[in-house]
């Protein structure tokens, strides 16, 4: 059975989607951009934007009883591959071995002018 997850400390979903859906021991997050919890797009250094995304994802994972250690798959979208190195540095500071499987995809644009979007799949043992 699907369980909808809504995190109190993450920005409100602005469309017909949930922060995450839990099915059994698996959790699927929606893509998160660098919105602050009050719904404003954080603009500044790419490191700060990436950190905001990961804090949003942390709130969503924690709301469902998961942590970054439970993440098995990550998808990262960036609008400019020159940002990749800095995004990767911040991402790595949140993750531990064994690192999740991951892909990074460069796209033309993201919602409301965001430069990065990240989604995750987590599994509880």
pLDDT single digits (tens) 29-72: 999 999 999 999 999 999 999 999 999 999 999 999 999 999 99
Question: pLDDT for 10-19, tens place per residue?
Answer: 999 878 999 9
Are 49 and 43 a contacting pair, CB within 8 Å? yes
Place of tokens 């699907």: 2
pLDDT of residue 94: 98
pTM: 0.96
Domains of the chain: 2-123 (3.30.1330.40)
φ, ψ dihedrals at 41, nearest 5°: -75, 120
**CA-to-CA dists, residue 67 to 51, 102, 109, angstroms:** 16, 17, 29
């Amino acid at each position: 059975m699907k369980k909808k997850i809504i995190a109190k400390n993450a920005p409100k979903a602005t469309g017909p989607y949930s922060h995450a859906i839990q099915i059994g021991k698996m959790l699927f997050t929606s893509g998160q951009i660098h919105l602050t919890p009050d719904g404003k797009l954080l603009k500044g250094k790419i490191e700060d934007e990436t950190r905001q995304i990961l804090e949003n994802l942390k709130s969503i994972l924690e709301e469902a009883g998961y942590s970054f250690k439970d993440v098995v798959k990550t998808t990262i979208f960036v609008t400019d591959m020159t940002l990749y190195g800095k995004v990767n540095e911040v991402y790595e500071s949140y993750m531990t071995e064994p690192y999740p499987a991951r892909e990074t995809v460069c796209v033309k644009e993201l919602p409301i002018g965001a430069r990065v979007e990240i989604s995750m799949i987590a599994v509880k043992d």
